[in-house]
Amino acid sequence: MKKLLSGMIPIVFLSLLMTGCQGVLDPRGPVADTQYNLIIYSIVLMSLVLIPVFIAFGIIVFKYREKASSHHYEPPEMEGNKKLEILWTIIPIIIVTMLAIPTVQATYSLEKSPSPEQKPLVIKVISAQWKWIFQYPEQGIQTVNYANIPKDRPVKFKLTSAAAMNSFWIPQLGGQKYTMPGMTEVLFLEADETGTFNGKAANFSGKMYSDMTFTISSQSNQNFENWIQKTLEMKPPLTAVGMDQLLSPGTVDIMTYSSYPKNYDYLSNLKGGTMNEFGEH
């Protein structure tokens, strides 16, 4: 029974790997790859602990259960055993060390661009109530609830928020980071395939939080440049008034603008709000 159970664990995870529906276990970029490898490695490492403990637990509980034949059996008193206790202090230390080393390595490497030889594309991400705003400072354009990125080029997302805290997460490209009002976090991601990836608001941000999804499309460099060009030529500019409207609470469809207002204070909603202290608008 216990053997069957321990045999099932890898199968469960294997079937999981094969489903691959836009999740963490279906990575499409170097950052997500690093994290995927760390996750699988830690699952294997933990199985090395889990399986022996399960087997030992099963055997002990079965063998020493109270039964009719053990009526006269009186268990021995065992105070403890220094050697054994030192042994199972050391085993977890070794296992934890085996996980800690790649953890620290990955912690440092993920702070840097996955492809340092290339100049990253910078995209500023602003979470609002309840939509995602993407600004391309070098190109001057803005999108809402979707973003296009070139394949095989690192993207430097600069994350902030115009309202509640949120968390910017594209599972197939890599782990999340928080967007926080008044602060800027940096997240490097890169796609090594073309395709559309689901992005999520991962941190609860109020009423319409569940609707706050976006997509990231990874495209060939040529297509990406064409899209920028077309956006600059064909799409409307965004004024400060338009931005005010965009930041007001609610959900919107995807949007594209050829420009966005410079020097806009994204914290105005949190600072002034709808009413100031004198009761005026």
Residue numbers 186-205 binding another protein by CB under 8 A: 186, 198, 200-205
Strands 141-144 and 131-136: antiparallel
Amino acid letter for position 165: M
Does 277 bind another protein (CB under 8 A)? Our answer is: yes
To the nearest 10 degrees (0 to 180), the angle between helices 30-63 and 82-109 is 160
Distance between CA atoms of 3 and 6, rounded to whole angstroms?
5
Q: How many CB atoms within 10 Å of residue 71?
A: 7
Whether the CB-CB separation of 167 and 213 falls below 8 Å is answered with: no
Does 183 bind another protein (CB under 8 A)? Our answer is: yes
Whether the CB-CB separation of 96 and 49 falls below 8 Å is answered with: no
Does 100 bind another protein (CB under 8 A)? Our answer is: yes
Residue numbers 37-76 binding another protein by CB under 8 A: 38-39, 42-43, 46, 49-50, 53-54, 56-57, 60-61, 64-66, 70, 73-76
Does 104 bind another protein (CB under 8 A)? Our answer is: yes
Q: Which of 28, 29, 30, 34 binds another protein (CB under 8 A)?
A: 34
Does 89 bind another protein (CB under 8 A)? Our answer is: yes
Letters for 216-255 (x = contact with another protein by CB under 8 A, - = none) are ----------------------------------------
- Shorter beta-carbon distance to another protein: residue 167 or 231: 167
- The stretch among 140-148, 149-157, 171-179, 218-226 that binds another protein (CB under 8 A) is 171-179
- The CB-of-188 to another protein minimum distance in angstroms stands at 12
- Shorter beta-carbon distance to another protein: residue 160 or 258: 160
Whether the CB-CB separation of 278 and 238 falls below 8 Å is answered with: no
- Shorter beta-carbon distance to another protein: residue 60 or 240: 60
Residue numbers 118-137 binding another protein by CB under 8 A: 129
Q: Which of 3, 7, 8, 93 binds another protein (CB under 8 A)?
A: 93
Whether the CB-CB separation of 188 and 212 falls below 8 Å is answered with: no
Whether the CB-CB separation of 149 and 224 falls below 8 Å is answered with: yes
Integer CA distances (angstroms), 279 to 268, 271, 273, 274, 276, in order: 16, 14, 11, 9, 6
Q: Which two tokens stand for residue 248?
A: 């007001």
Does 269 bind another protein (CB under 8 A)? Our answer is: yes
